[in-house]
Amino acid sequence: MTRAQVQSRWQKWREDFDVAALVFGAVLRFDGRSLWFSIAACAIAATVATFQFAVFTSFLAAGAAGPRFIAADAWIVERGIECFDFPTPIAEGYRGALLAELPGARIDRIVIGYAGWLSPTGGRGNVALIGVDDSGLTPREFRADRSDLGRLDLKAGQTGASIGGVSVELAGVTRALATFLGAPYAVMDYEAAHGILGYPTDNAAMLAVHFPDGVPPDLNERLARIEERFPELGARTGAQFEASSSAYWQNKTGAGAAILLAAALASLLMGLLLVNSVGRFVQRRQSDIISMLGHGASPAQIRAVLLAMAGFLVAASLGVALLLVPLFVQVAHPLLPWVHFSFADLVFVIVVSALCLMASVIAASRELGRFPADAIFRS
């Protein structure tokens, strides 16, 4: 393409933009009420869709909060165990045999189960107690998620709490264990938790494998050999076990699919509202559009006007959603502490907005195509 052609094309785009800006400015001035109503409807749908998708992605993340907190490079569990929260005991003695396939690894014992909780003020409940080797905690200390302190009726510095009848003190909080479980997570030293939960002697719930010097590149092959050697065991990478735990909650409860369906329906509603809004604009301004064509406006300039209309609706809806959803997440935090607005949610709303923009412009262009061929002579 020559320089002259580039300049010519740029000049044409500039003319199209100027026409679109002029016409759309007039719409904002003289037809603003209808436009703002359309923006409100689309923005509500966009906000609902984005918030529901944020709940969905947070649900998936919270379903694997336990293994993500421990951050093991690999997991050894009983064969068939899919979820961190519901294991069956395995012998601790496997650790020695596993080191033959995993030289240089540190293999920590893990227990998890439910235990009674008594707060310093006398409040009773349950906790999902996790016992971890190398936790950095003394036998009478525990760690909990910051968002669960209210549920535990606990404040930093308070004493007199107990787990399973054992007096404990809060040693620290984390932001990595927010959960939708009815019982909040509490992390303790392995031996202390093992005794509270009454696990069989020399048995753990699972084994967490860490590689201090870096994960070996053939880890998958090593884990496959472990499963072949010990058919009663399941060996998975950290990412695989996190995905399995998350999928367990989604598949067993159906909550993830229901939340995602709500997000999809709200996205569809946003698209329909946007298509309808731009379509009504074409119908209301049919005589103006025909007059523009009669005065020499090109089809490209008409499409630029439609794109400006749809783009403004999408941009306004997107802006409102991005402002309101983080606010809603904060408002809902006491009830849904595990819900967060993530980068994936941002990508979702941008993609949905782009698809809605395309759909509305295509639908409006088809509406223009229905104008009679001699309409210009009637204007």
- Summarize pLDDT for 198-240 with one digit per residue, the tens: 998 899 999 999 999 999 999 999 999 999 999 999 999 999 9
Q: Are residues 288 and 224 in the same domain?
A: no
- Indicate the SS3 state at residue 260: helix
Residues in the chain: 379
Q: What is the mean pLDDT of the chain?
A: 85
Residues 103 and 246 in one domain: yes
**Residue 38 confidence class, pLDDT cut points 50, 70, 90:** confident
Round to whole Å and give the CA distance between 298 and 200: 81
pTM of the model: 0.80
Which of these three, 202, 222, 253, is where a domain ends? 253
Q: Residues 121, 211: one domain?
A: yes
Number of folded domains in the chain? 2
Q: Are residues 55 and 157 in the same domain?
A: no
Is residue 4 a part of any domain in this protein? no
Range(s) of the domain holding residue 353: 12-62+255-378
Mean pLDDT of 57-61: 92
> What residues contact 270, with CB distance under 8 A and at least 6 apart?
42, 45, 46, 49, 317, 352, 356
Top-confidence residue, 367 or 238: 238
* 353 pLDDT higher than 60: yes
Of 23 and 164, which is predicted with more confidence?
164
pLDDT at site 373 = 45
Report yes or no: 372 and 289 within 8 Å, Cβ to Cβ: no
pLDDT exceeds 90 at position 32: no
pLDDT in tens, 84-117: 999 999 999 899 889 988 999 999 999 999 999 9
**CB under 8 Å to 55, separation ≥6 — which residues?**
259, 336, 339
The answer to the question of residue 208 being in a domain is yes
pLDDT digits (tens, 9 = 90+) for 299-322: 666 667 777 777 888 888 999 999
Coil, helix or strand at residue 354: helix
String of b and e for 15-30 (b: at least 16 CB within 10 Å)? ebeebbeebbeebeee
Longest dimension (CA), the chain: 93
Cβ atoms of residues 56 and 258 within 8 Å: no
* 73 and 214 belong to one structural domain: yes
Mark whether 120 and 141 lie in a shared domain.
Answer: yes
Q: Are residues 233 and 185 in the same domain?
A: yes
- pLDDT for res 308: 75
Confidence category of residue 295, pLDDT binned at 50, 70, 90: low
231 and 203 fall within a common domain: yes
